[in-house]
Copies of this chain bind each other. A is one copy, B any other.
């Protein structure tokens, strides 16, 4: 049997502690499967005295990740510190530069510095694995980086934030408001005390930026993403969607178009009888549409200490099973030097169906005016529903709900601007994009 693979783990929070426990308790099975033992040889965390319920007696303690990366006697540096800058960034660079393999779960780091880090890893001939960085336990990185080799991806989309999906699911199932569901998510530990980063779509955007690069072979462009959060989604939207045969999900979508790559994160209506529409609660899902394989959908836990640790362990095991020396698996699917510049598609050119909900004054001619604004912009309608306002409180107002056939963002914006210029609108119009899975 080959020498043991020596692992150094920086960061001993929930994921790190779970990882140490698994490597320790499954030592025999791992040695058989990988053809060599895996040992936790070094660790680093802020508080040395804290009891994490795991045996760290065999590991050398380092006070900082950077110190461990620079001088520990290890083969693999596992970064579970978090954050795009600071210790995580410095220690990963140091480890790669020293010729260590690196495994990380850090989506922010990759979204920010992924191409630079991949360049160093490829120059040094080491692996930089990051399965846990996107959609937790779902092996979407491996699917894109390995299984889909030779395919051209047309679109990749997914539910990649458990907090948002939990809130939207609860709103639908229980008829509760966004605010109430957010509070419940916080109570259950599914949402942070400051939930902004999740709710406004930034977390999904980081993950999407990484997937875009793997799917389309373009440089990471995390700042070039159209972003809309779910804070604006009301129970009326969810009920209207249900009536029309749709569910609302926060999707991250990246798509090849004639003018470039679209990257967008926004509340999305998906047809209720599709598989992804059935993905509820904190569960994540990622779909990939490619030209040879067709459509692939993967559903699983997007977060949680154990699920994340499982993905990290899979990455470590891949290194344990591989031959020492130069590796040929490009970190980002395409060798870093061969990544194409990212060309952003104009959001105004986005094509698709739209759901538009308007609260309007209840008087003659309004319906005709709305229909005229649509027609003027060449928007054809799949359905149009007029109903009394949900709670009569708006006194003399009514609701008009439109679902369009495929049109462009530009047309919809113009039509909505036209309606806003009229005097019958009560409050802001709601506009939600529709996304249709291709095969299922």
Contact check, A306 vs B281: say whether CB atoms are below 8 A apart: no
A150–B317 Cα gap in the complex (Å)?
9
Contacts of A335 in B (CB 8 A): 32-33, 35
Q: Mark A105-140, 1 if CB is under 8 A from B, else 0.
A: 000000000000000000000000001000001110
CB proximity of A66 to chain B, nearest CB, Å: 28
Q: Main SS of the interface on chain A?
A: mixed
- Assess whether A318 is interfacial by the CB under 8 Å rule: yes
CB proximity of A146 to chain B, nearest CB, Å: 6
Q: Which of B137, B283, B310, B328 contacts A321 (CB 8 A)?
A: B328
- Assess whether A301 is interfacial by the CB under 8 Å rule: yes
- Assess whether A333 is interfacial by the CB under 8 Å rule: yes
A307-348 CB contacts (< 8 Å) to partner B:
307, 309-311, 313-314, 317-318, 320-323, 325-330, 333-335, 338
A173–B416 Cα gap in the complex (Å)?
38
- Assess whether A428 is interfacial by the CB under 8 Å rule: no
A33–B311 Cα gap in the complex (Å)?
23
Interface centre among A22, A147, A278 (most CB of B within 10 A): A147
- Assess whether A149 is interfacial by the CB under 8 Å rule: yes
Considering only CB atoms, which chain B residue lies closest to A138 in the complex? B296
A375–B165 Cα gap in the complex (Å)?
42
CB proximity of A75 to chain B, nearest CB, Å: 14
CB proximity of A345 to chain B, nearest CB, Å: 22
Contact check, A293 vs B300: say whether CB atoms are below 8 A apart: yes
Contact check, B278 vs A292: say whether CB atoms are below 8 A apart: no
Number of interface residues of A (CB under 8 A): 70
- Assess whether A432 is interfacial by the CB under 8 Å rule: no
CB proximity of A182 to chain B, nearest CB, Å: 22
A147–B318 Cα gap in the complex (Å)?
8
A150–B390 Cα gap in the complex (Å)?
53
A338–B1 Cα gap in the complex (Å)?
14
Q: Mark A233-244, 1 if CB is under 8 A from B, else 0.
A: 000000000000
Contacts of A329 in B (CB 8 A): 321
- Assess whether A142 is interfacial by the CB under 8 Å rule: yes
CB proximity of A60 to chain B, nearest CB, Å: 23
Considering only CB atoms, which chain B residue lies closest to A25 in the complex? B150
Q: List 21 A-B contacts (CB under 8 A).
A: A18-B292, A33-B149, A131-B147, A137-B296, A138-B296, A139-B139, A139-B142, A146-B318, A146-B321, A273-B278, A275-B275, A283-B440, A293-B307, A294-B300, A294-B306, A294-B307, A296-B299, A297-B298, A299-B299, A299-B440, A323-B323
